[in-house]
């Protein structure tokens, strides 16, 4: 669920650790079995950037040795990744209430009736809104769609490398059951009979759940994740477990690099690499991804899909790999905004297991007019010059012409955008929270030295990040969360004045990505044009906490006015030839 670090390396270099780190338990020393001494403490002070006098060091010895014994005792307890901390993160600031109302039926847009196709592949790129009508009217069967998508998965995966496991037997069982129910007049709703793909950090009974990582490539979790159960209940058909960068980082997994369908010599970004690639290439009707710090936003941008990162606490994560208990979020990656709205309707709400989920109201209303909402835009991000005046070779705002064009679209729609600025806080410093929680999630992997089995072994990859994060003091982790409380309040103050904020997705305003993943705000990411090389760019719509419906309404109006989501990639059947080495 982490950000694709390669995609935004210029901004997200390193793990954001400062010179104030103090190895409170002197982990590196303890790992060797050596005794803690005053010299050990003095060495630790160099890392911490603090100083104790000799008498203070002597006084600390017994306490540190006691900590060592306690930590050794903790290490003897086997902790599965599914065991969450007793502390539960709540994105709501003090005093803020959310609406809790009975569930109401969605108000969907009207869809023109489409005749049955002569070739099933003609349906591959249709959004769920249209596929569902064909299934409901019995113009195409779920079995036919399942056959078509499985055939496309097998045909294009050798190039895209977006699949870890096909769930073919399960899919056909579900598809036959869906068709039988629909013939009997029992139609479950717009996802009934629609094939979909799951990011392979969602557990599916009877199939491997690899987390994209070599150490877990044969792992089978004997349960279905809550999201999988809910999509089963909606009648959706799971056809594949899709690739993610190992342990939710980037687009490189133990089998390959997942590719961008628009440019197959380029990775699809990550970590929801497979869901975005497969959805963009018309290999599934929709997919489920996850985000901790950009893992829906980044691949949706790269692959030209429409992604929804729901509010933290909207969708239960039971049965999903944990990376950061206070930042992980599950959400749909689709071919249209309304598809995302429909999928969210099927998967949101408490399950009695994930204690972070809040029973807030969600109601999709396609008739909601954006003109009834207060829509802001991050003026400084749109105003950022394309080129740094001090260095003509340095691009500051690579998507500026697309973002400027977006403002023109809103003017044509008669929407008066209100200039806003985002709260100014040290968001990057707060990434200590993610670093510490991720290291805790995979503590045993580090201590057992099995982190060497991971493919990515660079300075900014998980194995090294997990190691450096061992030196984050508990005090600083707690204080980072206290600063986070300030951020939550300031963002709530901002969102009291505005309903939806439009912002560039990329480097001109990456602070919004870090900020809103920390505060838990929802985001819709959609394609916003194409570069000269044919690759997509994107635009982001931010909503208030548990106000996805408003962000979706504005994003849908923009999407319908532009139509960028209707363009589809042509995927070659063979990988591109490697570029010859120079000389």
Average pLDDT of span 158-181: 98
- State the number of CA atoms in the 13 A half-sphere of 74 facing the CB: 11
Task: Give the separation between CA 554 and CA 368, rounded to whole angstroms.
Answer: 9
What pLDDT does residue 291 have? 98
Helix (H) or strand (E) holding 528: strand 523-530
Q: What is the pLDDT of residues 306-355, one digit of tens each?
A: 999 999 999 999 999 999 999 999 999 999 999 999 999 999 999 999 99
Match 């969450």 to its residue by tokens.
84
Task: Give the separation between CA 175 and CA 187, rounded to whole angstroms.
Answer: 13
What pLDDT does residue 35 have? 87
Question: Quick count: other Cβ atoms within 10 Å of Cβ 493?
Answer: 11
What pLDDT does residue 30 have? 46
Task: Give the separation between CA 310 and CA 545, rounded to whole angstroms.
Answer: 9
Question: Quick count: other Cβ atoms within 10 Å of Cβ 93?
Answer: 17
Confidence of residue 392 (pLDDT cuts 50, 70, 90): low
Bond before 40 cis per omega within 30 degrees: no
DSSP 172-202: HHHHHHHHHHHHTT----TTTT-EEEEETTB
Q: What is the pLDDT of residues 16-29, one digit of tens each?
A: 333 333 444 454 45
What pLDDT does residue 19 have? 31
Inter-helix orientation angle 226-233/337-347, to 10°: 100
Mapped to the 3 state alphabet, what secondary structure does 371-417 carry? Answer: HHCCEEEEHHHHHCCCEECCEEEEECCCCHHHHHHHHHHHHHCCCCC
Q: Is the residue at 434 inside a domain?
A: no
φ, ψ (nearest 5 deg) of residue 369: -85, 130
Q: Which of 256, 270, 318 is nearest to 82 (CA)?
A: 318
What pLDDT does residue 14 have? 32
User: What residues does 49 pair with on adjacent strands?
Assistant: none
Which residues span the domain enclosing 161?
124-426+482-566
Beta carbons within 8 Å of 348's beta carbon, 6+ residues apart = 310, 314, 315, 362
Q: Is the residue at 81 inside a domain?
A: no
Q: Is the residue at 574 inside a domain?
A: no
Match 């599950």 to its residue by tokens.
330
Q: Which of 110, 119, 121, 111 is nearest to 568 (CA)?
A: 121
Question: CATH no. for residue 260?
Answer: 3.90.1300.10
Q: Is the residue at 398 inside a domain?
A: yes
505 neighbors 451 (Cβ within 8 angstroms): no
* Paired tokens of 307: 């992604």
Q: Is the residue at 357 inside a domain?
A: yes
Looking at the structure of the chain, the number of domains it has is 1
Q: Is the residue at 237 inside a domain?
A: yes
What pLDDT does residue 580 have? 57
Confidence of residue 507 (pLDDT cuts 50, 70, 90): low
Q: Which of 185, 251, 162 is nearest to 456 (CA)?
A: 251
CA angle 89/91/95 to nearest 5° reads 115
What pLDDT does residue 50 have? 84
Q: Is the residue at 10 inside a domain?
A: no
Say yes or no to pLDDT of 46 above 70. yes
Average pLDDT of span 219-237: 99
Q: How many helices (H) and strands (E) does the chain have?
A: 18, 15
Question: Quick count: other Cβ atoms within 10 Å of Cβ 547?
Answer: 22
Confidence of residue 237 (pLDDT cuts 50, 70, 90): very high
Confidence of residue 393 (pLDDT cuts 50, 70, 90): low
217 neighbors 254 (Cβ within 8 angstroms): yes
φ, ψ (nearest 5 deg) of residue 35: -75, 145
Q: Is the residue at 263 inside a domain?
A: yes
């Amino acid at each position: 669920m982490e950000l694709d670090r390669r995609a935004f390396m210029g901004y997200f270099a390193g793990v954001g650790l400062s010179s104030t780190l103090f190895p409170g338990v002197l982990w590196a020393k303890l790992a060797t079995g050596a005794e803690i001494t005053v010299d050990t403490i003095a060495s630790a002070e160099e890392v911490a950037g603090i100083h104790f006098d000799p008498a203070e060091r002597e006084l600390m010895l017994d306490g540190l040795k006691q900590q060592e014994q306690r930590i050794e005792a903790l290490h003897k307890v086997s902790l599965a990744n599914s065991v969450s901390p007793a502390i539960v993160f709540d994105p709501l600031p003090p005093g803020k209430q959310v609406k809790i109302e009975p569930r109401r039926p969605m108000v969907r847009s009207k869809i023109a009736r489409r005749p049955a196709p002569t070739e099933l592949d003609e349906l591959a790129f249709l959004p769920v809104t249209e596929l569902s009508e064909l299934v409901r009217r019995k113009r195409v069967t779920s079995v036919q769609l399942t056959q078509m998508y499985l055939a496309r998965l097998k045909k294009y995966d050798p190039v895209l490398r977006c699949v870890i496991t096909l769930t073919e037997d399960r899919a056909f069982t579900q598809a036959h059951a869906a068709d039988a129910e629909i013939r009997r007049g029992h139609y479950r709703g717009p996802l009934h009979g629609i094939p979909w793909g799951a990011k392979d950090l969602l557990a599916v009974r009877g199939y491997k759940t690899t987390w994209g990582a070599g150490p877990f490539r044969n792992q089978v979790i004997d349960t279905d994740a809550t999201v999988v159960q809910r999509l089963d209940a909606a009648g959706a058909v799971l056809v594949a477990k899709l690739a993610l960068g190992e342990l939710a980082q980037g687009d490189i997994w133990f089998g390959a690099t997942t590719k961008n369908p628009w440019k197959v010599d380029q990775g699809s970004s990550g970590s929801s690499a497979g869901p975005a690639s497969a959805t963009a290439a018309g290999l599934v009707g929709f997919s489920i991804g996850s985000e901790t710090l950009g893992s829906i936003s980044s691949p949706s941008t790269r692959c030209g899909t429409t992604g929804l990162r729901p509010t933290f606490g909207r969708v239960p994560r039971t049965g999903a790999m944990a990376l950061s208990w206070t930042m992980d979020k599950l959400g749909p990656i689709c071919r249209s905004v309304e598809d995302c709205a429909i999928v969210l309707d099927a998967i949101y709400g408490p399950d009695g297991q994930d204690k972070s989920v809040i029973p807030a109201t969600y109601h999709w209303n396609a008739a909601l007019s954006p003109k009834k909402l207060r829509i802001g835009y991050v003026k400084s991000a749109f105003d950022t010059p394309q080129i740094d005046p001090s260095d003509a070779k340095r691009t500051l705002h690579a998507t500026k012409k697309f973002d400027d064009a977006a403002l023109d679209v809103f003017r044509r729609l008669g929407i008066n955008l209100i200039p806003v600025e985002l709260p100014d806080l040290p968001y990057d410093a707060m990434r200590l929270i993610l670093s510490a929680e991720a290291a805790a999630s995979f503590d045993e992997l580090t201590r057992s030295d099995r982190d060497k089995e991971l493919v990515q072994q660079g300075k900014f990859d998980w194995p090294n990040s997990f190691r450096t994060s061992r030196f984050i003091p508990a005090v600083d982790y707690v204080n980072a969360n206290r600063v986070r409380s300030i951020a939550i309040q300031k963002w709530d103050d901002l969102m009291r004045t505005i309903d939806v904020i439009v912002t560039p997705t990329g480097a001109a305003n990456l602070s919004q990505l870090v900020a809103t993943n920390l505060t838990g705000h929802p985001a819709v990411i959609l394609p916003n044009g194409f570069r000269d090389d044919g690759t997509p760019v994107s635009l982001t719509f931010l909503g208030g906490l548990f106000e996805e419906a408003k962000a979706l309404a504005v994003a849908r109006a923009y999407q319908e006015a532009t139509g960028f989501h209707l363009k589809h990639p042509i995927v070659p059947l063979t990988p591109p030839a490697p570029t010859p080495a120079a000389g």
